Chain A
């Protein structure tokens, strides 16, 4: 019993039996996932596998039908201050009248809470975060004037300003050039060396073994998860990408129909 509690608290992040449904139709089935050690984790899977949904549900942005999520042994809702979420680049209006500096400054709002305004400490931190992603020269630009890769760096700088210990990033490599991708990965690696955990929804299978410590193979259910060396095998990839389990699809439809007719 003691050993189990110990085990549980030592896990950075734990999803227990999570099921998520959109409009009663399950899109993620019985997810069980435990990340014991800090490191760089890739979530990999085909389109529509529920990768983004999984991290959004874990952050409480999408309601779960069942299951629980914990971080460092306590319910995730209580630990949100230590967790950073980097949404897909397309999730915000890049025409919004706001400068790069102000966008990154928003990362510090979590530590400020309601009503308090950012001061010297937050501004200095913001500038350091911008320097870390190499965007200090663009601080006063309006965010819409940036290229896709630069926008992604701004999002990362904002995440850095959150000073979180656990990060969820939704496709930070989508639509960036090779140079930015390298910069981003170096940054993620240095974060990981500082003892943080970074969970990245990732599309590019070629770079998984090069950059990541662990991998989660997802296709509406967890196919496999663990260290890249042992988990990222062609057999596992085959069952992740080799088509969905047609019974799950049938069941999803059945569940939806049942709830509609009753």
Chain B
């Protein structure tokens, strides 16, 4: 983020092996692209993926602890940390800068708690106050420094697009420079999860219980904050301030898709990797910011998740509503046929209705088509040429529906002060939701249960074995 001017020349060492070189060369050949391009793309995607995995893992706990804003705060105060180190040492060295950035992250967390408690400001405001002040401090220091130049683009977007171009020798391999910070970061994150899995989950879910069981929730908070600071610092070099998107969005999407913490962690990693990978490929195509597009992709994936989420997804809710409507229409047909049979001269003879009459009973429209198919597929209705008739099970089902309807009318009559012409409509709505249990309960509560308020017999059902 901070560069000495002039930029240090990239050292290219010959003869050091590059991992996966053979594979990328082969892929390049099969795609008919230059080998270096494919290799660059491969390493860029690898850096992006590594970044995404670190961010997603840490981000899950930020989201669950409802301290997402802390990620934002840390990414801003990192600048203050690096600037502070520059102020002290007068040099731009990567390792001290990294330490300074991490220290700034921890200072942010501590100051946030301090301002929150001492000044009695709500925690979110306190985070806002602390990180903007620290960020501003960093900006002031950098603007005063003579030989240091703040690369604004780099702060905002990182240098993901070039992450795969500059390969550096590391432990005998030629790999992207960011691997040097990202691999240890991933190790630290995984170590935190492996060692403190139980404690992290406990303090995230119920800090009070944690304290009474003898686990320090405060210690875990600072431990997590430190790891998030490390993740933020390493990831910011690659994706800039958009690290916030990688921290929060994949975790939030994963939360929508699952109810298990372990699944959530794995899913958020996959989602994070897909964001950076798709974002980078789109950036190549449109010649745009890779980090920016990764964040846009993350936002788009969140929208998709909102639609398809199994729990509260719009699509799921729509499907459930449609299914319910179909059932209600179908049940209306059954009840209608039953009433018709009841009114006919020969109540024991199975009543017949034409297909179009059934459609009318179901309320017409596309729903009635679906409803009739629903009934036929469950063999509640039988089709004999142009006419429909109730099957044995259909008759039982229908009888139960009408029973529910009339029981509800009787119940309303007894407990509500309603005129008798106000009883049918509510019963028409409620009949679809009254199961055998409620039928039983109403029967027990009613003083006389043989007839409904309109004087029609409440049909008796011995066993309700259809629903």
Contacts and interface: CB of A to CB of B under 8 A. Distances in A.
Interface of A: 59-61, 80-81, 83-85, 87, 91-93, 96-99, 102-103, 106, 109-110, 112-115, 117-118, 142, 144, 158, 162
Interface string B257-269: 0111101100000
30 contacts: A60-B212, A61-B208, A80-B212, A80-B213, A83-B212, A85-B209, A87-B206, A93-B66, A96-B204, A97-B64, A97-B258, A97-B260, A97-B261, A97-B263, A97-B264, A98-B261, A103-B205, A106-B205, A106-B209, A109-B215, A110-B212, A110-B213, A110-B214, A112-B198, A113-B214, A114-B199, A117-B198, A118-B198, A158-B209, A162-B213
Size range of the chain B interface in the assembly: 20 to 34
B399 interface: no
Contacts of B205: 92-93, 96, 98, 103, 106
B217 to A, nearest CB: 11
**Nearest 6 Cβ contacts at the A-B interface:** A110-B213, A142-B259, A85-B212, A97-B261, A92-B206, A96-B205
A85 B208 contact: yes
Interface of B: 64, 66, 195, 197-199, 201-202, 204-206, 208-209, 211-215, 255, 258-261, 263-264
A210 B342 CA distance: 53
A91 to B, nearest CB: 6
B212 A96 contact: no
Contact of A59 (B199, B206, B212): B212
Contacts of B198: 109, 112, 117-118
A114 B197 CA distance: 10
A158 B261 CA distance: 19
Interface centre among A84, A97, A102, A117 (most CB of B within 10 A): A97
Contacts of B195: 115
A99 B208 CA distance: 19
B135 to A, nearest CB: 30
Given A106-B202, A114-B215, A97 B255 contact: yes
A254 to B, nearest CB: 21
A112 B213 CA distance: 10
Contacts of B259: 97, 99, 142, 144
Interface centre among A115, A117, A118 (most CB of B within 10 A): A115
A80 B214 contact: yes
A106 B212 contact: no
Contacts of A117: 197-198
A114 B201 CA distance: 13
B243 to A, nearest CB: 23
A83 B214 CA distance: 11
Contacts of A110: 212-214
A112 to B, nearest CB: 8
Contacts of A106: 202, 205-206, 209, 213
